């Protein structure tokens, strides 16, 4: 399967902050803080400016957390 570049992410690849928080086992305020600090950046919806996350990025971070990676702080 061909991997898309980060810029070629479509709407079907994005999830809400609530979905991302649930997958990662953290609160929505934690994700907002990580975004503000540049630790785990969100994209912004072009119309309402809500934070949106690339599903594959969230799943990658989840694997790092589960495996004991250094990324989450």
Strands 14-16 and 43-44: unpaired
Q: Which domains does the chain have, with CATH numbers?
A: 13-67 (1.10.1660.10)
Phi, psi for 14 (deg, rounded to 5): -100, 145
How many angstroms separate the Cα of 66 from the Cα of each of 1, 8, 23, 50?
25, 27, 11, 27
Q: Which residue has the tokens 């994209």?
A: 43
Q: What is the pLDDT of residue 11?
A: 85
More confidently predicted of 27 and 72 = 27
The more confidently predicted of residues 43 and 6 is: 43
Angle CA 11–14–20, to nearest 5: 160
In this predicted model, what pLDDT tens digit does every residue of 15-67 receive, in sequence order? 999 999 999 999 999 999 999 999 999 999 999 999 999 999 999 999 999 99
């Amino acid at each position: 399967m061909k991997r898309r570049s980060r810029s070629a992410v479509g709407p079907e690849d994005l999830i809400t902050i609530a979905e991302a928080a649930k997958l990662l086992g953290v609160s929505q305020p934690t994700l907002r803080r990580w975004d503000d600090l540049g630790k785990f950046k969100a994209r912004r919806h072009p119309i309402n400016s809500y934070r949106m996350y690339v599903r594959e990025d969230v799943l990658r971070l989840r694997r790092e957390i589960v495996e004991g990676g250094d990324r989450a702080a």
